[in-house]
């Protein structure tokens, strides 16, 4: 019967899988059959690239997209380059420029078009970042000479032109949005996942002492998301502040590694905490030096990016070596192999993505130098999230069982107050000379007589009623109530005005006892002896304070016993509260 049920379930899943496959096939066929030009391509049609075929004053052809490898240009030196405006321009065209670490001026037949040039030496020493320009071009300028005066901040790949085009402004904006959409969505997804992981970690670790795998993974995802968001350059496109965006990108790149290693250590245990601490100290030192250099305008973060890359590469190599070291010795936790496979796939994805983007960055001009890292990291977080979620669910189940066992260990089953074990542990945690603390001891009289004469049912009822009166008399804020023996109770008070709290609480307690004993047809009356000590009054430790309160309670109990014996001959029982 079980095999038949499994067969039917598998058959249904196969049918659904075939339906899903046919759906995608039909979508792809329809896409090819009804393929038309989309609005982005319509608006971008006719865009003319001006990134190449510039000439210098000597007539040498210059390719602006790859200056570092094609021309010898010195940082801080002024250059003039020339081009001609195409005769195919239309009304409403703009000259769209994306440059990085370049100051420039543009002229048409000697008439200035745009000035983002600053030859001030102090300014040239600072990283400028990206600059986006959209300059209106009149149709009458067709065929005229376009002149550019420019200065490069650095003689390396960080000073370059990324885009120079002539076209409709809406086409340029739509094309930019489409090019950045995937990277932007990926970065936002990282930020959403980071928030989700951090929020999940909070309730899991609130009551139980577990590691913070999900918190580390969440912080790692947050750093990746912020770095990826800055690397898309979407924010600086609208704010115009390329320098701040690049500072943020460099610093968030630095913040990626440590939470990743913390997560790897807690989830798999590839290396010891000593190794992690050493690497953390080195990484913090590098981060702090970069931070100080940027803050004091001594050296821009862009100039220190190679050191950050070296630390990142060192972290990746450390991670790879630990993987091989662990697998070589066969040190794999007792867990499902599928989750171990997920972790390996995630690590391989992040390592491959990092290596590819390192090569892309140092090869030259790229519009987005972090796209493969983002996809690798996304795969990594998904794989490790699945593996960690399985562990988290198990930990929650274990935590729930442990919490139930703890409840049994520290709660009195009859009165629902904390028990003697909880009281003793509480005394150990209190400071030796903590101020404004009071301990009040209580002892219920005649419990044995009620048990012997009326039965244990009434004895238990007497204890529950007594516990309710005691706990209700002192309120809830700054009050802890315990049952530490068969007929003994303790209240610990933490109040600023401790004397008033004790006095008012005992007054309420005595009124409650009197009110209970005034009821008619009672099978027994409740009389409770008490004694208290206040640390503001007694210059002693918590344990000594407890002993003083206990001694005073027994003194009160003896006095009440004398009064009860004297009242036994009276027809009206006295008020012993």
pLDDT at 127: 52
pLDDT at 235: 81
Q: How many residues does this entry show for the chain?
A: 577
The residues facing 534 across adjacent strands are 438
Residues 365-379: pLDDT tens digits? 555 566 677 777 777
- Distance separating alpha carbons of residues 268 and 155, to the nearest angstrom: 44
SS3 of 295, please? helix
Nearest to 406 by CA among 178, 208, 259, 194: 208
Pairing mode, if any, of strands 94-100 and 479-483? Answer: unpaired
Residues of the chain with pLDDT under 70: 1-8, 66-73, 114-129, 156, 204-211, 267-273, 320, 322-340, 343, 361-371, 381, 384-408, 431-435, 536-539, 564-577
* Alpha carbon of residue 21 to chain centroid: 38
pLDDT at 217: 80
* Alpha carbon of residue 253 to chain centroid: 16
Are the beta carbons of 76 and 152 closer than 8 angstroms?
yes
Nearest 5°: the CA angle 420, 533, 438 is 65
* Alpha carbon of residue 153 to chain centroid: 37
Nearest 5°: the CA angle 468, 470, 474 is 115
**How many Cβ atoms are within 10 Å of 238's Cβ, its own excluded?**
8
pLDDT at 18: 92
DSSP class of 303: G
Question: Helices (H), strands (E): how many in the chain?
Answer: 18, 14
pLDDT at 282: 86
Whole-model pTM above 0.85?
Answer: no
Q: What is the 3-state secondary structure (H, E, C) of 500-548?
A: HHHHHHHHHHHHHHHHHHCCCCCCCCCCEEEEEEECCCCCCCHHHHHHH
pLDDT at 532: 92
Residue 224 tokens read as 């990746």
Query: Which residues are CB-contacts of 185 (< 8 A; sequence separation ≥ 6)?
Result: none
């Amino acid at each position: 019967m079980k095999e038949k049920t499994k067969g039917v379930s598998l058959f249904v899943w196969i049918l659904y899988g075939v339906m899903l496959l046919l759906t995608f096939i039909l979508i792809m066929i329809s896409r090819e059959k009804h393929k038309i030009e989309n609005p982005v391509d319509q608006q971008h049609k006719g865009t003319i690239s001006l990134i190449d075929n510039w000439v210098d004053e000597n007539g040498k052809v210059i390719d602006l997209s790859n200056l570092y490898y094609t021309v010898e240009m010195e940082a801080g030196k002024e250059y003039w380059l020339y081009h001609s405006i195409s005769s195919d321009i239309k009304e409403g065209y703009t000259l769209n420029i994306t440059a990085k670490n370049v100051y420039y001026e543009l002229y048409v037949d000697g008439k200035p078009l745009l000035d983002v040039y600053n030859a001030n030496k102090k300014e040239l020493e600072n990283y400028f970042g990206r600059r986006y320009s959209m300059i209106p071009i009149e149709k009458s300028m067709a065929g005229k000479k376009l002149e550019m005066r420019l200065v490069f901040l650095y003689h390396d790949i960080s000073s370059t032109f990324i885009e120079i085009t002539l076209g409709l402004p809406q086409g340029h904006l739509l094309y930019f949005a489409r090019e950045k959409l995937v990277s932007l969505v990926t970065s936002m997804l990282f930020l959403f996942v980071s928030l989700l992981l951090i929020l999940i970690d909070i309730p899991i670790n609130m009551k139980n002492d577990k590691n913070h795998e999900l918190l580390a993974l969440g912080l790692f995802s947050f750093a990746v998301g912020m770095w990826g968001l800055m690397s898309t350059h979407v924010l600086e496109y609208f704010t115009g502040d390329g320098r701040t965006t690049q500072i943020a990108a460099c610093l968030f790149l630095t913040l990626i590694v440590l939470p990743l290693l913390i997560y790897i250590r807690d989830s798999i245990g590839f290396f010891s905490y000593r190794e992690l601490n050493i690497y953390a100290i080195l990484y913090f030192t590098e981060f702090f030096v970069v931070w100080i250099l940027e803050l004091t305008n001594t050296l821009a973060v862009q100039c220190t990016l190679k050191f950050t890359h070296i630390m990142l590469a060192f972290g990746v190599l450390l991670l790879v070596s630990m993987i091989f070291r662990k697998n070589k010795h066969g040190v794999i936790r007792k867990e499902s192999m599928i989750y171990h496979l997920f972790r390996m796939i995630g690590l391989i994805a992040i390592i491959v993505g990092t290596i590819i983007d390192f090569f892309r960055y140092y090869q030259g001009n790229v519009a987005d130098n972090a796209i493969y890292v983002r996809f690798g990291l996304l795969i990594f977080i998904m794989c490790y999230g699945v593996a960690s979620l399985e562990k988290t669910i198990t930990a929650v189940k274990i935590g729930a069982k442990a919490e139930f066992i703890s409840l049994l260990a520290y709660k009195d089953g009859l009165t629902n107050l904390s028990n003697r074990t909880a009281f003793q542990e509480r005394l150990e945690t209190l400071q030796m000379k903590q101020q404004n603390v009071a301990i009040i001891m209580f002892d219920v009289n005649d419990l044995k007589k009620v048990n012997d004469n009326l039965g244990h049912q009434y004895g238990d009822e007497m204890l529950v009623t007594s516990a309710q009166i005691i706990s209700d008399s002192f309120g809830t804020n700054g009050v802890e109530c315990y049952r530490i023996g068969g007929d003994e109770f303790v209240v610990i008070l933490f109040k600023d005005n401790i004397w008033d709290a004790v006095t008012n609480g005992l007054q309420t307690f005595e009124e409650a006892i009197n009110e209970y004993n005034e009821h008619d047809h009672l099978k027994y009356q409740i009389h409770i002896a008490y004694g208290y000590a206040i640390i503001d009054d007694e210059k002693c430790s918590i344990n000594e304070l407890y002993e003083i309160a206990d001694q005073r309670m027994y003194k009160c109990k003896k006095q009440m016993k004398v009064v009860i014996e004297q009242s036994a001959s009276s027809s009206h029982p006295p008020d012993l509260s």
